[in-house]
């Protein structure tokens, strides 16, 4: 079940790269790196859970760290930058890369806390998204954020329960919570949420619309964005 849940990384990564291609061409081609890293996370996660080795653990966690750092670098709104940077994104990018390189080396010192540290970073992303939810009046974005937060809360609760109540779940012979954590549908929703929020600041002359693959009429699908140049349309 756990290895099967990793297959979604190999599906969603390339598919999102294809679906988001027009947006990436307008915003930044570095976004392709995020989709590649997402696929790499799936590969390293599969290797780790097949071998349960220290090398596998470190590859898995370091790939997640760089995936989060890439998202921070591209989509973090300038208004949340540290005050000493002003709104200078190149300097912010240097800061993120430096912090990520240092964190990569520190990850080898206390590997038992790596997962908690990564989820702390994720909590900060949730905070940023919550702030954007308060600011926006865009109903489409608000709905997207709501769905993303529910998916993330469900996945995070599954991870916490798997960590803290492992013996209980084993006792009742229910060992699927970690697999639920691995199912990666939260990632595409998070990507599109950040892209929509980012467009408010970085692409004010563009109109972004949330679409869902394979059909918009499905109650839940794989989200992506379509865009047009005329904001008034």
Residue 182 known to bind ligand = yes
Contact in structure between 119 and 153 (CB atoms under 8 Å): no
Place of tokens 């702030």: 131
Comparing CA positions, the residue from 232, 215, 214, 212 lying closest to residue 223 is 212
Longest CA–CA span in the chain (Å) reads 59
Comparing CA positions, the residue from 224, 186, 187 lying closest to residue 208 is 224
What is the SS3 assignment for 137? coil
Would you tell me how many other CB atoms lie within 10 Å of the CB of residue 217?
Answer: 7
Residue 49 known to bind ligand = yes
Residue 124 known to bind ligand = no
The Cα–Cα gap between 200 and 178 comes to: 35
Place of tokens 């930058």: 81
Would you tell me how many other CB atoms lie within 10 Å of the CB of residue 106?
Answer: 13
What is the SS3 assignment for 79? helix
Would you tell me how many other CB atoms lie within 10 Å of the CB of residue 224?
Answer: 22
What is the SS3 assignment for 214? coil
Q: Which residues are annotated as a binding site for Zn(2+)?
A: 49, 178, 182
Q: Which residues are annotated as a binding site?
A: 49, 178, 182
């Amino acid at each position: 079940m756990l290895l099967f849940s990793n297959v979604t990384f190999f599906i969603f990564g390339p598919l999102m790269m294809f679906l988001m291609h027009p947006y990436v061409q307008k915003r930044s081609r570095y976004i392709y790196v995020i989709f590649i890293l997402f696929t790499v996370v799936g590969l390293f996660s599969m290797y780790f859970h097949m071998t349960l080795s220290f090398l596998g653990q470190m590859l898995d966690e370091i790939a997640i760290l760089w995936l989060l750092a890439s998202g921070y670098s591209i989509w973090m709104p300038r208004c949340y930058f540290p005050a000493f940077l002003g709104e200078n994104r190149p300097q912010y990018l240097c800061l993120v890369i430096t912090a990520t390189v240092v964190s990569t080396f520190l990850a080898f010192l206390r590997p038992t806390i790596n997962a908690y540290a990564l989820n702390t970073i994720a909590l900060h992303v949730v905070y940023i998204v919550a702030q954007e939810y308060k600011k926006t009046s865009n109903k489409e974005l608000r709905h997207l954020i709501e769905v993303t937060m529910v998916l993330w809360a469900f996945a995070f609760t599954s991870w916490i329960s798997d960590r803290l109540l492992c013996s209980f779940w084993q006792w009742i012979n229910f060992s699927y919570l970690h697999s639920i954590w691995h199912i990666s549908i939260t990632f595409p929703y998070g990507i599109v949420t950040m892209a929509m929020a980012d467009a408010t600041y970085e692409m004010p002359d563009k109109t972004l619309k949330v679409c869902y693959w394979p059909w918009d009429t499905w109650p839940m699908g794989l989200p992506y964005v379509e865009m047009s140049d005329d904001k008034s349309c």
